[in-house]
Chain A
Amino acid sequence: MTEPRSVVDDLTRGLTIIGLIGGVLLSTELLFDIHKWIEQPQRHGMEGWHPTGLKLFVLLCFTATIGALVLAARRVVTRSLAPLHDSVGQIERAIDAPRCFRLDLAGLPVEVAGYGTAINRLIDHLERVATRREAFAAEVAHELKNPMAVLLLELDSIGSEETSRLKLDVRRMSRLIDQLLVMAQLEAHVTAPIKSTVIDLAELAAELAHTMVPGAMDDGRQIALKLAGHDLFRGRRELVWAAMRNMVENALRVTPPRGVVTLTVGPGARFGVADGGPGLSKPELVRMSKPFAQARHPSACGAGLGLAIIDEVARLHGGSLDCDPARKEIILNLSPVQHGDEPADQYVNVG
């Protein structure tokens, strides 16, 4: 590793060199004894020069020398401060960087290195806070899940018509906790980015359908899966999974009994869920993508954070949440990756 540079040393060195060169040039010009040139031009081989022209020539020589010195000084200052501009660029590019960012201290001048270290420590701190918050949210969720599990089982053992309604409420609360947990992960991701992996949307959709078909059938709804030519997709699997799950849960909720919820994977990195509900217009979708949006639409009832999560996950992956009111379909568009970019990691197929 090279020695860290110092702005003061750079400036001193550069300006000293410029000062020396300037001094030498000006002394040389003086040595020529300019006054004598003007008064006796013929003795210095300058006959034929008009005295005013000679004066202007001398002035030009001085101006050119000073101008060159000023430009040289400016270059020295700019060069000395260049590492600072580089770091600003680094920080700005890091805002959307997928990996955890730290300022590269290697190229920084010594005067600013302390500042850089302080920024890196601040980032460390923010990451720790984010991770702690996420862990805290997970802990709270877990702590809440146990009393809810007890509540559900107690209601189970009473077993009357009223309790089945209450059981439904407990399940709704549980779903809301799951959503809050995902929200916490999304917020933590802003400061402590989650590592991305190459994932297969079709595999995720099949796994999702696999876990949700039995419950859906018990409630009299069907789930169908359509594969329409899909790409591998680079993303945060846990978050994409949460978004997809929320889409299917929403769809099942608005679909009447004996209705079908159709999951479509592809073309490209696209996941669509068509339901048997009343359909959703684009303005409604935008309005309901805000957390806890209250719409008079049946989809909003109990949707809680669902659409907000889907929207945020799409945005995070450079994609978008869209809808096709005619087909009653909600669409999650994600960014496809090049094949062979990175090998897809192991995925267990629970078939």
Chain B
Amino acid sequence: MRVLIVDDNQRLAKLVEKGIGARGFRCDMAGNLADADLALASLHYDAVILDLALPDGDGIAWLRSRRPRPDFPPVLIVTGRPSLEDRVAGLDAGADDYLVKPVDTAEIAARLRALLRRPGPRSHPVLVVGGLVYDVAARSLHHDAVEVPLTQKEAELLELLMRRAGTVVRKSVITDALYRLDEEVTPNAIEALVSRLRQKIGSPGGSSPLNTVRGMGYILRDSAT
């Protein structure tokens, strides 16, 4: 998987390259927005890591103008700006995720993997989270190389959670994704479904990667960092 790192701090960019390179990402570096444009025009990238303060302009304005292109790769902003305003502006401009420096490579790699699992033109046909391997087309799940049979609803829920692994998926999002508008859904239905799925993907005696966040929803933890 090829990633473009857009950051004017060479040393930082090289450290990120080294760190996520060891986790299976091939990286190229661009020190400014013009170089980033050049790289994106000549090569296919699976994701972009973008700093916001660059010598030839602001990353947010650049992203806003480039994002509408249909083949533009998903973008992870990694910046020193911690404010809510910047975060909201970044996500509004079309970034898929936002991390505040300082951040370690394990976290960058986890967020990149999450981006690559999202649905889109380059959506991966096989999703991998920890020991779980899910084939989207065949709707088949392997847990530590052992096939686990799933019902249709369980499979849909698992795909949703895997595509957003590492972030909280709200109950309302699950209800909207899994049930038709005219279908009657009780809150217990989702809980029961999650509970069944949790039993199927939990390690015997170990903890399940599928956790409940009370008052919000569920999170499938991506612990393979």
- A152 in contact with B103 (CB, 8 Å): yes
Looking at the assembled complex, report how far the CB atom of B91 sits from the nearest CB atom of chain A, in whole angstroms. Answer: 6
Stretch from A85-93, A103-111, A116-124, A208-216 at the B interface = A208-216
A272 to chain B, nearest CB (A): 13
Stretch of A32-40, A219-227, A300-308, A310-318 contacting B (4+ beta carbons < 8 Å): A219-227
- Alpha-carbon separation in the docked complex, A163 to B215 (Å): 36
- Number of residue pairs spanning A and B whose beta carbons lie under 8 angstroms apart: 109
Chain B at the A interface: mostly helix, strand, loop or mixed? Answer: mixed
Find chain A residues with CB under 8 A from B15 CB: 150, 153-154, 156-157
B12 touches A209 (CB 8 A): no
Is B80 a contact partner of A146 (Cβ separation < 8 A)? yes
Residue of A nearest to B88 (CB): A348
B105 x A153 contact (CB < 8 A): yes
Q: Interface size for chain B: under 10, 10 to 19, 20 to 34, or 35 or more residues?
A: 35 or more
Nearest-neighbor residue (CB-CB) of A208 within chain B: B84
Most-contacted residue by chain A among B16, B91, B211, B216 (CB, 10 A): B216
Contacts of A218 in B (CB 8 A): 221
Chain B residue nearest in CB terms to A138: B81
Q: Does B85 contact A (CB under 8 A)?
A: yes
| Pair B102/A206 contact, Cβ less than 8 Å | no
Beta-carbon contact of A213 and B173 below 8 Å: no
* Cross-chain contact B92 with A146 (CB below 8 angstroms): no
A222 in complex: contacting residue of B11, B85, B214, CB < 8 Å = B214
Residues of B within 8 A of A58 (CB): none
Given contacts A156-B19, A217-B221, A348-B92, contact A209 B213 (CB under 8 A): yes
Q: Name A223's closest neighbour in chain B (CB-CB).
A: B213
Q: Is B9 an interface residue (CB 8 A)?
A: yes
Collect the chain A residues with CB atoms within 8 Å of residue B84's CB.
Answer: 207, 237-238, 241-242
Whether, in the assembled complex, A178 has its beta carbon less than 8 Å from a beta carbon of chain B, the answer is yes
Q: Which of B198-220 contact A (CB under 8 A)?
A: 211, 213-216, 219
Pick from A150, A167, A263 the residue with the most CB of B within 10 Å: A150
Is the Cβ of B213 less than 8 Å from the Cβ of A149?
Answer: no
A53 to B190 alpha-carbon distance, docked (Å):
106
Query: Is B147 part of the binding interface, using a Cβ–Cβ cutoff of 8 Å?
Result: no
> Is B173 within 8 A of A181, CB to CB?
no
Q: B residues bordering A, Cβ < 8 Å?
A: 9, 11-12, 15-16, 18-19, 53, 80-85, 88, 91-92, 101-106, 166-168, 170, 173, 211, 213-216, 219, 221
* Extra contacts besides A146-B12, A171-B102 (20): CB < 8 Å: A149-B103, A152-B104, A153-B15, A153-B105, A154-B15, A156-B15, A174-B102, A178-B82, A181-B83, A206-B216, A209-B216, A214-B168, A214-B219, A217-B219, A222-B211, A224-B213, A225-B213, A238-B83, A263-B215, A348-B91
20 contacts between A and B (CB under 8 A): A141-B80, A141-B82, A142-B81, A145-B80, A146-B9, A149-B80, A153-B12, A153-B16, A153-B102, A157-B105, A167-B104, A174-B102, A213-B168, A213-B213, A214-B167, A214-B168, A214-B219, A225-B216, A227-B215, A260-B214
The 9 A-B pairs of least Cβ separation, nearest first, read A145-B80, A225-B215, A224-B214, A153-B15, A149-B101, A152-B102, A149-B102, A241-B84, A142-B80
Give the B-binding residues of A (Cβ under 8 A): 138, 141-142, 145-146, 148-154, 156-157, 167, 170-171, 174, 178, 181, 206-207, 209-210, 213-214, 217-218, 222-227, 237-238, 241-242, 260, 262-263, 347-348, 350-351
